[in-house]
Amino acid sequence: MIFEPSKLEDKKFRNQFAELVSVYVRLVECYAEKNALTIPDITIYSTEMLKEMKQMGVIDKLHNVDFFEKNVGTDLSHRFRRCIAFAVTHSKGIGKLLDNLSNYKRHLLQIQEFSSGKPTIVDFFAGAGGLSCGFVKAGYRVSFANDFEEVCIQTYRYNHPEVPASKILNADIRSIVDHIEDYVTEDIDVVVGGPPCQGFSSANKQRIIDDPRNELYKYYIRAIKKILPKFVVMENVHGMLSVANQVVEDYESISGIKNGQEYSYRVSYKLLNSYDFSVAQARERLIFIAIRNDIIENQNITPDDIFKEISFRNIDSKSFVLKDALDYIAPLRAPRIKNQNEVDSDTSGKKIDVNHFSGDDSPYLRLINNGRRIPFVFNHKARYLNDINYDIYRLLEPGNDATDAKIADIMPYKHRLHCFKDKYYKLIPDKPSRTITAHLRMDCHSHIHPFQIRAITPREAARCQSFPDDYLFLGAYLKTYMQIGNAVPVLMAEGIANVIKQHLL
């Protein structure tokens, strides 16, 4: 379920509930704007409207319209009432636009998906769902996903309506691994994930298992031992390369018995760059692929063979650069007044807005959007700039950084350039984007737009991560940067998934 009115007494859930209602309202408002239609004022709920609200799940037998309106507020409930009346009247034209916000529609999709016969994945440390999105695009079904960050789970659930909410868990892996069978109730083809990696720096040469900062990695290994999937895909930072052989030891020490058969694993690793998967970003990640012994024997395949197939497929893949990700999206101005991040504006952008382009206007957009025309754009909002940063952004040219002479007089960190050289950097349009990181939630000075006096928006960052344009990131504005920066590029995940899938048929 996407809506659970029974939880509205909890302020935390009330805020999440209201955000989803506001998403519904903005989608309807944008649809009306796009089609030059008027949303009439409505004072009462018709029978059709109440039926739709029950199917959505915003009301039920115990939680009626009065309860709904009390918890979402007067202004939002009034806008919602107008919009749901409009949506009922224009349901044919609206089509599937609002399906992600309907408990009923999601349930029907989940039934269909469960019986699809697709290969299954479990995604630990799923974040906002980059890995899952890539595997789903490649034809997999998510059996279970978890993450510790609540906002990531909100985003994941909205964008994966085919997965039951009970199978997308906001929980620490340490609290669920010992009874993982309560959540993973079927045979799993692939376990994927990127456990946090604080202890994998190049300066750390000790055994991983002895570093308490890598406790979550060890729990990931324990989960694999309990689930015993056919394949495992683990991604991590370049720094983990220094201890990669220790990781290999850990994987190859896994053994377990399932259905009377003993299983073990072989594993290989390789540095892969998202740019080679047609992502408009240079993002190097260390990928481990482990294969269960029976699959190795039956398929006559090794992890090294999988990496060779991935490399072979990428030989003819088309390359894209930053400009491809920044094209065909509305120009914006950075707000100059503080505390405007959550405020929608015609000049600085909106969380949900009409897309004045078609959504498939270039080869890169066609690729990340699966050739679909997407009439709306999500999370395209510029962030606040103070006077000093505005002048720095204005003076720098693509490729310039904090050491540039043009900003020497106003550079606030000039006494720390030895460690903050990249604090300010204007991106180069005809090269792939530099790596999108979660640090963007703190500031975006390292990712200054090459043509406009502002940082890149969350949507532009998401395009650099190859997320489709209708992948909506929920939660506070700055947390959207965190969700996007921590994700695995979707096209990279899809490329890996496609090769593994050949050996699951």
Out of 146-160, 330-344, 406-420, least confident range:
406-420
pLDDT, tens only, 229-255: 999 999 998 888 888 999 999 999 999
373 and 266 within one domain: no
Mean pLDDT computed over 317-342 = 96
Whether pLDDT at 90 is above 60: yes
Q: Are 157 and 132 in contact (CB under 8 A)?
A: no
pLDDT of residue 384: 96
Q: 451 with 494, same domain?
A: no
- Is beta strand 261-273 parallel, antiparallel or unpaired with respect to 376-381? unpaired
- pLDDT recorded at residue 204: 44
Q: Please tell me the predicted confidence (pLDDT) of residue 412.
A: 81
**Mean pLDDT across 446-475:** 98
User: Which pTM value belongs to this model?
Assistant: 0.95
Which H or E element spans position 377? strand 376-381
The answer, yes or no, to whether residue 335 has pLDDT greater than 70, is yes
Confidence band (pLDDT; 50, 70, 90) for 208?
A: low
Model confidence at 203, pLDDT cuts 50, 70, 90, reads very low
Q: Which of 98, 124, 150 is the last residue of a domain?
A: 98
Interatomic CA distance for residues 433 and 280, integer angstroms: 6
CATH number of domain containing 203? 3.40.50.150
Query: Are 298 and 436 a contacting pair, CB within 8 Å?
Result: no
Do 198 and 211 reside in the same domain of the chain? Answer: yes
Domain boundary among 83, 98, 113: 98
Mean pLDDT of 488-498: 98
Domain range enclosing 394: 322-485
Are 77 and 220 members of one domain? no
Same domain, 78 and 113: no
Q: What is the pLDDT of residues 249-273, one digit of tens each?
A: 999 999 999 989 999 999 999 999 9
pLDDT over threshold 90, residue 214: no
| Least reliable range by pLDDT among 14-28, 376-390, 399-413 | 399-413
User: 62 with 197, same domain?
Assistant: no
Catalytic residue among 83, 133, 152, 197: 197
Mean pLDDT to the nearest integer, 337-353: 95
Residues 59 and 176 in one domain: no
Q: Are residues 117 and 160 in the same domain?
A: yes
Token couple for 140: 């997999």
Looking at residue 393, which CATH number applies to its domain? 3.90.120.10
Task: Judge contact between 269 and 216, C-beta under 8 A.
Answer: no
- What angle, rounded to 10 degrees, do the helices at 47-56 and 103-114 form? 50
One domain for residues 347 and 380:
yes
pLDDT tens column, 413-431: 666 665 565 689 999 999 9
Q: What percent of the chain has pLDDT over 70?
A: 94
Domain boundary among 49, 64, 98: 98
The letter for the amino acid at 203 is A
Inform me whether the pLDDT recorded for 97 exceeds 50. yes
Q: What is the pLDDT of residue 27?
A: 98
pLDDT at 42 over 50: yes
Active site residue 30: no
The answer to whether 392 touches 410, Cβ cutoff 8 Å, is: yes
Residue that wins the pLDDT comparison between 188 and 211: 188
**Across residues 6-34, what is the average pLDDT?**
95
Same domain? 377 vs 414: yes
Q: How many domains does the chain have?
A: 3
Together in a domain, 299 and 400: no
Clarify whether residues 15 and 28 are in a common domain: yes
